[in-house]
Amino acid sequence: MDAPSFWTVVMKRSDGVLVPAVEELSPEELRAQPGGPETNPIGWLTWHLDKVQDDYLSLISGSPTVWERDDWNSRFPNAEHALHIEPKDVGDFDPVDAATLLEYHVAVRKRGGEVMADLVPDDFEKVLDPIYPTGKPMAVADILAMVVSDTVQHVGQVAYLRGMLRDQGWYSGRRPVS
């Protein structure tokens, strides 16, 4: 299996949990913080996992983010500085609604497939400058491993919170993984 195919399998599997966990939630449920006022709500976690992935895909491809290219900032009114906000402020993020969150998710997922399809084996060893001021240079392979790890972690968090709020709507035994 080549890297683009592996990427597709991993992201499809994670989407099989994330999408059903988010798609039926109300804006209030997307903002809920069942663990307390300084814990990450589902809406922020979903947006954050996609925004970070979008930023790293942009770095790897040398092209604008989906966020910039498609003017997503105008659809998420207070997200400009929400990527690395303080825990006390995470509840202020406005996820808008599940449809908008998932539309951005799908756009980032599509871009990920395009970026992966354009990579050649030597690209994985290329070391890129840090994307964030506190970051360090990393090889493309390490960046992609981090993105996959963070995606799996955050999708698990979303599914857990969904279960706390409502039910196990993400559980693949109840819904087919497409």
Per DSSP, the residues of 45-67 read: HHHHHHHHHHHHHHHHHTS--HH
The residue extents of the domains of the chain are: 3-165
CB atoms within 10 A of CB 130: 11
Query: Strands 127-128 and 138-139: what pairing?
Result: antiparallel
The two structure tokens encoding residue 29: 């449920």
The two structure tokens encoding residue 46: 């979903």
CATH 3.30.460.20 fits 3-165, yes or no: no
Q: Supply the DSSP symbol for 137.
A: -
Helix spans in the chain (H): 3-22, 27-31, 42-61, 66-69, 98-118, 140-165
> What is residue 164's three-state secondary structure?
helix
- Tens digit of pLDDT per residue, the chain (178 long)? 888 899 999 999 999 999 999 999 999 999 999 888 888 999 999 999 999 999 999 999 999 999 999 999 889 887 766 666 777 777 788 899 999 999 999 999 999 999 999 999 999 999 999 988 888 999 999 999 999 999 999 999 999 999 888 877 656 555 544 4
Q: How far apart are CA 63 and CA 10, in angstroms?
A: 23
Residues in CB range of 166: below 8 A, 6 or more apart: 25, 29
Q: What is the pTM of this model?
A: 0.89
